Amino acid sequence: MASTTACESISLTEPGERPISMVPEAPHNDSSVTEAKVPYLKLIASGFSFFVAGVNDGSLGSLLPYVLETYHVSTGLVIIVYVTTLVGWLVAALTNSTACQYLGLGSMLALGAALQVLAHVLRAWLPPFPLYAITFFLASLGQAFNDTHANTYVAAVKAAHRWLGFIHAMYMAGCLVGPLVATAVASANRQSQWNLFYVFPLGWGLINLILVLIAFRDSMSVHHSSEAVQSDDPRASGQNSRGSRAVREIKDTLRVPAVWLTSLYFFLLPGSGHHGRWVPNIGVEAMAICLLGFFSGPFFATGISVASKIFPANIRSSGIAFVFVLGQIGGSLFPVLTGIISSHTGVKALQPMLLALLCATGISWLLVPTKAPRLRAD
């Protein structure tokens, strides 16, 4: 397809940036993120943010026995931790478009990194359980802003499929390192000081924040109300308030069927990955996790890569952010449902639940479009 439509000629902008019209005669890539030279520092910073998120997400399971003992709470009450995580991702989904009207890409990434640092500072202090649960809201909100926009940025660079694989591999590396360090710290003394583990992700979180501030300093901006947003969209006349632009962007994104079909896939995929500690034999469990991880590992990065190709250029950034956030909501929701169901039926229900999730994920992938939808020329 050599011809370029009016929509395709508009470059993909970073969150919060003004759309820049491209000269029709000059053949450009439709992504303003794509640079002549590979932005290695930005890609490394993006991958590192996923590593920090992996350390946070992977460590909770190892610390749960100590959390239950220290706070004297039941296993049913500890579900609050997963609920606050879910609420954090929901808040991010509702506020992301509005926040992008005020903050540039670098500022959004820095805000997310700072929220995660704040969460780890509070956890290391060993706060009361209600505040400890709230820290998971802060961490998930920070991950939503940090990782979602890092993911969107990487999806627009040259050879994005390789770099998407890199950043999601960094997340799994964090999920590997987190439990190992958490177990070592929590079991080091006779009287466990498991809260000191959070000094470890706190240090990595500070490095993450510094990396973001350096790598994305060119987009570390705050948009003032006096700045007018340039747009060729006739609907934009009389609707230049930031709230109107954010609502319009959300509506345009949700009108695309490919966004909903891809979101369904991402909603189910993380839930099918919560299969640890379901097998009583450690050898069999290790083999099962290894095989599932090997075969399902590329699914997330591949899905983001496909989404970046089938979403229309004008909603690509917000569309990828939406499906990513919805995927994390699924990853927070299914452990809660699993815990509720297994507490009533026992562990015998876990295997069919995992099998059903895997089958549903496969079916949802078949529903994802293979071609970008044709857009009407308004």
Cβ contact 46:167 at 8 Å: yes
- Do 203 and 252 sit in the same domain of this protein? no
For the chain, the domain total comes to 2
169-188: average pLDDT: 92
Choose among 12, 105, 100: nearest CA to 311.
12
- Do 72 and 196 sit in the same domain of this protein? yes
More confident: 177 or 191:
177
Residues 6+ apart with CB under 8 A from 243: 98, 101
- Do 274 and 178 sit in the same domain of this protein? no
340-347: average pLDDT: 74
Mean pLDDT of the chain: 79
What local confidence, expressed as pLDDT, does residue 225 receive?
55
Give the span between the Cα atoms of 51 and 211, in whole angstroms: 13
What local confidence, expressed as pLDDT, does residue 42 receive?
96
- Do 142 and 277 sit in the same domain of this protein? no
Residue 12 lies in a domain: no
- Do 251 and 198 sit in the same domain of this protein? no
- Do 212 and 264 sit in the same domain of this protein? no
Q: Pick from 5-19, 36-50, 70-84, 299-313 the range whose average pLDDT is largest.
A: 36-50
What local confidence, expressed as pLDDT, does residue 223 receive?
72
Lowest mean pLDDT among 128-142, 204-218, 329-343: 329-343
- In this predicted structure, the answer to whether residue 48 has a pLDDT above a threshold of 90 is yes
Residue 76 — φ and ψ, nearest 5°?
-70, -40
Structure token digits, residue 368: 């994802």
- Do 177 and 283 sit in the same domain of this protein? no
- In this predicted structure, the answer to whether residue 266 has a pLDDT above a threshold of 90 is no
- Do 174 and 50 sit in the same domain of this protein? yes
**Residues for the chain: how many in total?**
378
- In this predicted structure, the answer to whether residue 375 has a pLDDT above a threshold of 60 is no
- In this predicted structure, the answer to whether residue 18 has a pLDDT above a threshold of 50 is no
What local confidence, expressed as pLDDT, does residue 317 receive?
76
Residue ending a domain, among 186, 205, 221, is 221
C-alpha distance from residue 340 to each of 95, 186, 270 (Å): 29, 27, 18
Choose among 110, 100, 113, 106: nearest CA to 33.
106
- Do 124 and 214 sit in the same domain of this protein? yes
Give the span between the Cα atoms of 183 and 21, in whole angstroms: 53
Residues 6+ apart with CB under 8 A from 89: 140, 141, 144, 325, 328, 329, 332
- Do 316 and 216 sit in the same domain of this protein? no
- Do 264 and 212 sit in the same domain of this protein? no
Give the span between the Cα atoms of 229 and 242, in whole angstroms: 9
CA atoms within 13 A on the CB side of 102: 6
Residue 10 — φ and ψ, nearest 5°?
-95, 125
What local confidence, expressed as pLDDT, does residue 228 receive?
43
More confident: 54 or 321:
54
- In this predicted structure, the answer to whether residue 338 has a pLDDT above a threshold of 70 is yes
Domain around 56: 34-221
Residue 186 lies in a domain: yes
Residue ending a domain, among 188, 221, 254, is 221
What local confidence, expressed as pLDDT, does residue 284 receive?
66
Residue 26 lies in a domain: no
Lowest mean pLDDT among 51-60, 109-118, 236-245: 236-245
Residue 119 lies in a domain: yes
- Do 141 and 213 sit in the same domain of this protein? yes
Q: Report residue 348's pLDDT band, with 50, 70 and 90 as the boundaries.
A: confident
Residue 215 — φ and ψ, nearest 5°?
-70, -40
117: three-class secondary structure by DSSP: helix
Percentage of the chain beyond pLDDT 70 is 79
Give the span between the Cα atoms of 357 and 339, in whole angstroms: 15
What local confidence, expressed as pLDDT, does residue 374 receive?
59
Give the span between the Cα atoms of 67 and 274, in whole angstroms: 20
Give the span between the Cα atoms of 306 and 168, in whole angstroms: 15
Residue 1 lies in a domain: no
231-258: average pLDDT: 67
Residue 330 lies in a domain: yes
pLDDT, tens digit (0-9, with 9 covering 90-100), for 61-113: 889 889 999 999 887 787 889 889 889 988 888 888 888 888 999 999 999 99
What local confidence, expressed as pLDDT, does residue 5 receive?
39
Residue 76 lies in a domain: yes
Choose among 313, 208, 305, 312: nearest CA to 266.
305
373: three-class secondary structure by DSSP: coil
Residue 345 lies in a domain: yes
Q: From the centroid of its chain, how far is CA 211?
A: 18
| CATH number where 165 lies | 1.20.1250.20
